[in-house]
Each structure stands twice: as structure tokens, then as C-alpha cells.
Amino acid sequence: MHDVQQIRNTVILGHGHSGKTSLAEALLFTAGAVGRLGRVDEGTASLDFEEEEIRRKISISAAFGHLRWQGCEIFLTDTPGDDNFITETKFAARLADSALLTIGGVLGVRSQTEHFVDCITERNLPCLICITKMDRERANFQETFDEIRSSFNRLKPVVLYLPIGAEKEFRGAVDVVSGQAWLFQPDGTATPTEIPADLVDEVAARRASLMEYVAETDDDLIEHFLEEGHLTDEELQEGLTAAVRRGKLAPVLPCATLGNAGSSIILDAIAQLLPSPDQRPSLLGVNPKAQEPVERRGTAYAPFSAQVFKTTADQFTGRLTVFRVLSGTLKGDSFYNVSKGESERFGHLFILEGKEQKEVDSVVPGMIAAVAKLKNTGTGDTLCDEANLVRYDPLEPMPAVISYAVSAKTDKDEEKLFSALTRMLDEDLTLHLTREPETHEVLLSGAGQIHLDVIRERLKRKFSVEMELSQPKIPYRETLKGKATAQGKHKKQSGGRGQYGDCTIEIEPLTNGERFEFVDKIVGGVVPQQYRPAVEKGIIEAMEKGVIAGYPFVGLKASLLDGSYHNVDSSEMAFKIAGSLAFKKAVLEAHPVLLEPVMELDIRVDKEHVGDVMGDLNSRRGRVLGMDSDSRSEIIRAQVPQSEMQLYGPDLTSMTGGRGSFTLKFSHYEEVPSHIAQKIIAEHKPTESGE
């Protein structure tokens, strides 16, 4: 296991229902790593073992498999295809050496496929493309291949195996390089056979085409090809391997994983064509002490370094930290967490095989390993040898696009809920927990509705606490547009010492952007000096509670003009109440209005959906500020009221078929249109009367 050249670290990518997990299960079964062929639809897949995955029949978390084939140790990472869980997919792709891209032979290229192709091209990952479900009705290899080439020609797809038969008749494939035909067996293996007569000419044509593509990837090969008109068998095989490992060609293979047809040729391609860790470019990091760049090669003899890309939390087993070894060899019982600046000790070192853990003595580059019960190490942290420091760029999660106010189903579980959520934040970097100071709500933000629903299910299953989600309140504000003067008098004399406070104030809008200004314009001693700050305090407290709809008041200048006092009954409390009364009266005469938060929105969308998105923005009271474009998409900049954006993530996905993304940040406050303000004020009245 310590021969790095025999290790392959491969991530399986593809849109939802393209057959990623089924492919992984078939590879594991064919290699003898599992005893039965797991099925997603039956809930028996070894890599979809979380209860939420079994129930929903989708992958929610990255899962790990390990197998041996042709002397190679192959580490597979099966990833989610749903946009709600794509952060784990991106993390896994960033730390892999190569990829299997699955595309259904019936559905073909989907809009989400672009996300996964981006994962591949951003890191120039060597890639195999598996056209899956070739045994299904309407499956068409050629149409799917043409669609891949037209949509993602930057991958340089080339046919490596031609299918024998289609739909129910799919039974084998022909190796375009060697010309050998294979018939697939139920156990996943393949037996040699003759090339069907109707494929002989096509195989020859495909081989000639492949030869030309391979030659174009290398200066020496293209020169030889132009001189001789062909490449030798050895040159073709070696040239293909070199081109794939440099990310210059992506071989395409057919398979039907439910019947375990084609898994052996995919395993052969992984072992023969995909690179080992030491064949990938050196990794770039920084020495945090010297602030100098550092290079690490993926060899067993380089200084140890790794990066954490997954953390799981459980109330019984605690934290499990999963990391990819990037360089060097890890032995012993500790490593240095350079991101946290401290050493961490661990008890046992594991590699992961589905939900099982296999203890090992040491790990080398390309291996995915795990340790339990670390105290401070989290997702994205860099681990290394303390004598050879390196820190890699942190893993950046996808931005949260949906937020809900979160609370426990019962008050007694509040503390338990937020303790459990804190542990979930370690596990899932896409989750964010924030407190909204103006509405006093705790907000839970995530990648989508399904994402937050799954978090709710996991909290109940893992921590026995039920979470409730509700639409968050919009932090409206109140202000005024006019000027008014009002008197506030608090007088109470019913036994014992009385209370007396009397003040007259003038209020007007502040034009300098400040929240509040208080001016003392009292002449003489009509209100003694010691009571004037109490008037200001009463106004400030009333501003916090609002007047027309219960939201904080802003942009107000209040001047204390006049008043009266009683030698015995006046007090600070009495003048505080008087100030509050005067403020509320004056506001109602000074044209009060509601303000709403307006968000700045950047939307990235393909050209064909620009019209739909623009029309939708208009319906949300949005203002388009401008547009930019790059080679692949349009970028729309707009301002939209926050109240219109609460469910924008799912709506944009629906509008664009998953091809749109957006970022959101606060811009400013502006006046709510009167017809909308009236509804908000009316909703406040029952609450107000109930209080």
C-alpha cells in the first residue's frame, strides 16, 4: 500500500440520478471489495448508508470506498449530485487526483453537469467519462457522446470503447485501441469475443480518429504522425496514457451498472490511464512563519501534509475527521494542525470503506484517512509535520442561499438544539447560524430547502432534538418625513407620592444619515437639568419599540422645547414616560413611513435564461443596475428588497434548470411602497392589541 505509483484517488462526479453511486457499487463488487452488488433503489448501497440517503434515494454526503485492481489501490469518493449538497462534492474534487464523470445514456447532459465539468477543468483533473444506463430504453451512446462533445469540448472527449448493442441488447464493448471485443458477465468481468461484423468499419474509423487526437497532444507524436500517417500500437497506447494524465483527453466508456455491465473496463482504465499522486503537478502552499511559497510533491518521501475535507459529528462516537494525504507519510499518533497552530494527538488511524473503518499503521499520498475525537481540527484545516510547515488554501464552501428562523420545538430543548447545531456547523461548512440583532431571531442558512430539511432530520436522529423553521422576520425600520411638535404629560396622584412629568418636543428628519440626535432647547428652568436626560432616554426606548408597526425608529432629530415639573412628584421615571408619550404623539403627526432593507444581487446565468430572470426581478420590485458577460454566462447586477428574496434560491434553480447562481449582500434602506406598508402595519395591529 506504500507504493504511491500504484495508488489512484478518483472522485465520481455527475448530476443527480446519473448513476454515480450505482457505478461505485459496481466497481467495488467487481473488484471483490464488497460481497454483494448494492442498489440505491433497494436501500442496500454500501456508500449511501445514512438514513436520510436511504429514504430519499440520493447521495447527501461524500462517501468513500477502497478496492484493489491490477495491483493498484484505488480510493473512490462518491459525491452528491444535488445542488443542495454540492459543497462536499467541490471539496472532494479539489482534493482528488482524477475524476469519473457520469452522464446518463438516456437523460444525457443536464444543466447541472456544467458544475461538475467546472470542478474538473478548474484543476485540470484527468478524467474518464462514463455513459451510464446503456441498458435502459431510449439509451443512445452516439447521441450522448455528441452532446458531451458539443457542450464540453474543453474536456476533449474521445471514444475509448464502443458499445455492443443498446438498450436491452447492450451486452459488451469494443476497445478502440486494441480492437479487442468484450462480452460483459453478471459478476462484472468481461470475456473476449469477436468484433460484431456491423461494428468492424466503425471501430477502424474510431481508431483512426483517436490516433489523430492523441497525436495532437504531443509535438513529437504529431510530427511522427504527419510523416508516417499513423502511430504504432505502442505510441498510441503511451500517447493516450500521457494525454489523459495531463488532462488533454477524456476517454468515454459505456456501462450499465445495475446489471454490472462495463465495470471491469472502467477499472482497467482507472488503473492504466489515470495518474498516481506523484504524477500530478506539485502542490502549492505557504509557510505561515516565513510567509514564503512552498511546493509539495505527492511522494511518500516528501514532508507529510494533508488537508481535512470532511468532519462528521455524532453524539455517541463524537467527531470523525476525514483528510486526504497530499504528501509524505503519516505514522504515529500525532500531527501538527498549522491552521490552528497546535498539535493534535489521535488514537487510531483508519481508511474508510463505506460506513466501515479499517485500521492502518500509516498512510501515504492519495489515501483518504480518518481519525476520531480530535478536539480542534475542522474541515479545511491543513495538517503537516511541525518541522516542515505548509498551509494550503482553505476550502471555500458554496454560499448559503436560503435562511430560516430556527427554534426548538419545545422551550426546554433550546439549549440542546443549539448545542447540536454547533456540532453540525463543524460537519457542514455551508451551514451558517447567525443572530439578527434587530428582529432578535436566530437564523439558520443553508444551500437550499432540501439541505435544511436533511439537517432537521439528522438533528432528530443523531441528537434526539426537534428543530422548527419559520420564515424570518424582515428587519424593517420606521422613520418620518415631516416635522411635528407634541406634548407628553405623565401625571399620577392616587395615594402616596405622585408622579409628574411634562415635556414638549419637536421632531424632524435627520438628513446626515445618523440614527438619532437630541437637542436641549430649554430656556430657564421650566424642566430642571437633572430631568432632561430622562426625556431623551424615554424617546430612545420608545424608538426601539417603534410606533406604527413595532420596528425600530431611525433618522430622527428630537428637540426638547418646553415643559413643567412638580417640586415633590417629579422624577426621572416620570419624565422618561413623558418623553415617550410626546414622541409617540409627534410621530403620528409627522408623516411616519416604513423603511425596508434592499439587497445588492449579482446573478450569473446562461444567455438563454436572461429574459426570464429579468422579468422575475421586475415582479420582485427589483431594479437592474447593469449587466456584464464573460465567455460562458451573463452577470446581472440588481437591487431587490429583502422581503422579495427569501425563497429566491429555489426559484432561480427552477427558472434556469439549475444553471443560475447568485450572491447577495445588504445595500441600503429605502421607503416601503404605501400599499405594502399598509399591509405590514395592519399585521402588526393584532399583535399590538394582544399585548
Say if residue 1's pLDDT is above 60.
Answer: no
CA distance 131 to 255: 6
In a domain, 660, yes or no: yes
- Which CATH number goes with the domain that contains 612? 3.30.70.240
What lies within 8 Å, CB to CB, of 521 at 6+ separation is 559, 560, 561
Say if residue 201's pLDDT is above 90.
Answer: yes
Owning domain of residue 417: 402-470
pLDDT digits (tens, 9 = 90+) for 384-437: 999 999 999 998 888 887 889 999 988 889 899 998 898 888 888 889 999 988
Q: What is the mean pLDDT of residues 318-346?
A: 92
Same domain? 328 vs 433: no
| In 134-218, alpha helices (H) | 141-151, 200-215
Same domain? 586 vs 599: no
Mean of all residue pLDDT scores within the chain: 90
Distance of CA 342 to the CA centre of its chain: 28
Same domain? 583 vs 442: no
- The percentage of the chain sitting over the pLDDT mark of 90, rounded to a whole number, equals 64
Predicted confidence at residue 354, as pLDDT, reads 86
Say if residue 84's pLDDT is above 60.
Answer: yes
Q: Among 339, 357, 384, where does a domain finish? A: 384
pLDDT-based confidence at 187, cuts 50/70/90? confident
Q: What is the mean pLDDT of residues 531-559?
A: 92
Say if residue 690's pLDDT is above 60.
Answer: no
In a domain, 465, yes or no: yes
Predicted confidence at residue 631, as pLDDT, reads 67
pLDDT-based confidence at 686, cuts 50/70/90? low
Same domain? 446 vs 365: no
In a domain, 200, yes or no: no
| Total domains present in the chain | 5
pLDDT digits (tens, 9 = 90+) for 616-657: 999 999 999 999 887 667 899 999 999 998 888 888 888 887
- Which CATH number goes with the domain that contains 119? 3.40.50.300
| In 429-515, alpha helices (H) | 449-463
- Which CATH number goes with the domain that contains 374? 2.40.30.10
Predicted confidence at residue 512, as pLDDT, reads 77
- The percentage of the chain sitting over the pLDDT mark of 70, rounded to a whole number, equals 97
In a domain, 196, yes or no: no
Angle at which helix 532-545 crosses helix 572-589, to 10 degrees, equals 50
In a domain, 197, yes or no: no
Instruction: Write the burial class of residue 567 (CB in 10 Å: 0-12 exposed, 13-18 middle, 19+ buried).
Output: exposed
Same domain? 407 vs 484: no
pLDDT-based confidence at 131, cuts 50/70/90? very high
Render 287-316 in DSSP notation, one character per residue. Answer: ETTTTEEEEE-SSTTSPPEEEEEEEE--TT
Predicted confidence at residue 347, as pLDDT, reads 87
pLDDT-based confidence at 56, cuts 50/70/90? confident
Same domain? 182 vs 123: yes
Render 255-275 in DSSP notation, one character per residue. Answer: -BGGGTBSHHHHHHHHHHHSP
Say if residue 2's pLDDT is above 80.
Answer: no
Q: Among 337, 352, 384, where does a domain finish? A: 384
385 and 306 Cβ atoms separated by less than 8 Å? no
In a domain, 210, yes or no: no
Q: Among 413, 436, 470, where does a domain finish? A: 470
Same domain? 509 vs 419: no
Q: What is the mean pLDDT of residues 32-43?
A: 86
Same domain? 57 vs 175: yes
In a domain, 235, yes or no: no
This prediction has a pTM of: 0.84
In a domain, 392, yes or no: no
Q: What is the mean pLDDT of residues 103-124?
A: 90
Same domain? 61 vs 167: yes
Count of alpha carbons within 13 angstroms of residue 306, beta-carbon side: 32
CA distance 528 to 531: 6
Predicted confidence at residue 691, as pLDDT, reads 39
- Which CATH number goes with the domain that contains 435? 3.30.70.870
The residue written with cell numbers 428543530 in the block is 467
